[in-house]
C-alpha cells in the first residue's frame, strides 16, 4: 500500500501492468457465458423458462432488489451488448462469437507501458 502511494500507482494502472481484470469483469463474463448457454437450449426447457419468467407482484418490503435479470442487464452493459432479448439470443446462437464478445478485455493488454513524469502528466 505504501509503495503504491509513493510511486503514484493506481489500482487501474496496476491491473493494466499485470493484465488482471477487475472482479466485476470476471463475474460479468461468467454470467454471460451461462446466459449464452441458456439462450442456445430449446425454448421449452426449465432453465429457459425460469430465466425468462416474470412475477407480476411487486417485491415484498425488505426483499432483494438485485435479481438475476437486473444483474444480467448490468453485465450486458459492461460489455456493451444489446439488452433486448431477441438481439441477445440471436448473437448467442453463434457460440464462438458469443464467447469472443463476453471475454473482450476492458483495456489493451500487451502494449508497452510508458510512465509519464509528474511534470508532464498535469
**68 near 19, Cβ under 8 Å?**
no
- 98 and 118 housed in the same domain: no
Q: Look over the chain and give the mean of its residue pLDDT values, rounded to a whole number.
A: 76
Q: What mean pLDDT comes out for the span 107-120?
A: 52
Within a 10 A sphere around the Cβ of 28, how many other Cβ atoms? 23
Query: In b/e form, how buried is each residue of 47-68, taking b as 16+ CB within 10 angstroms?
Result: ebeebeeeeeeeeeeeeeeeee
> Where in the sequence is the domain holding 58, given as residue range(s)?
22-104
Select the more confidently predicted residue: 37 or 114: 37
- 63 and 30 housed in the same domain: yes
Q: Is 80 helix (H, G, I), strand (E, B) or coil?
A: coil
Residue 120's pLDDT is what? 53
- 28 and 55 housed in the same domain: yes
Q: Does the pLDDT of residue 33 top 50, yes or no?
A: yes
Residue 115's pLDDT is what? 47
Residue with the three cell numbers 498535469? 122
User: Comparing 28-32, 63-67, 102-106, which segment has the lowest mean pLDDT?
Assistant: 63-67
DSSP state of 58: P
- 37 and 69 housed in the same domain: yes
- 46 and 61 housed in the same domain: yes
CA distance 116 to 122: 10
User: Comparing 1-5, 39-43, 68-72, 91-95, which segment has the lowest mean pLDDT?
Assistant: 1-5
- 86 and 115 housed in the same domain: no
Select the more confidently predicted residue: 118 or 93: 93
- 8 and 50 housed in the same domain: no
What region does 8 belong to: left with phi over 0, alpha with psi -120 to 50, or beta?
left
- 89 and 116 housed in the same domain: no
Residue 114's pLDDT is what? 47
Residue 119's pLDDT is what? 53
Q: Is 99 helix (H, G, I), strand (E, B) or coil?
A: helix
- 120 and 65 housed in the same domain: no
Instruction: Tell me how many domains the chain contains.
Output: 2
- 48 and 75 housed in the same domain: yes
Amino acid at each position: 500500500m505504501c509503495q503504491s502511494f509513493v510511486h503514484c500507482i493506481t489500482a487501474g494502472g496496476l491491473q493494466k501492468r499485470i493484465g488482471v481484470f477487475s472482479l466485476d469483469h470476471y463475474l460479468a463474463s461468467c454470467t454471460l457465458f451461462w446466459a449464452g448457454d441458456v439462450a442456445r437450449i430449446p425454448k421449452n426447457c426449465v432453465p429457459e423458462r425460469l430465466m425468462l419468467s416474470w412475477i407480476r407482484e411487486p417485491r415484498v418490503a425488505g426483499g432483494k432488489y438485485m435479481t438475476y435479470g437486473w444483474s444480467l442487464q448490468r453485465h450486458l452493459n459492461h460489455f456493451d451488448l444489446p439488452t433486448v432479448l431477441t438481439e441477445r439470443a440471436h448473437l448467442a446462437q453463434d457460440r464462438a462469437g458469443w464467447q469472443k464478445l463476453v471475454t473482450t478485455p476492458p483495456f489493451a493488454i500487451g502494449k508497452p507501458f510508458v510512465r509519464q513524469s509528474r511534470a508532464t502528466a498535469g
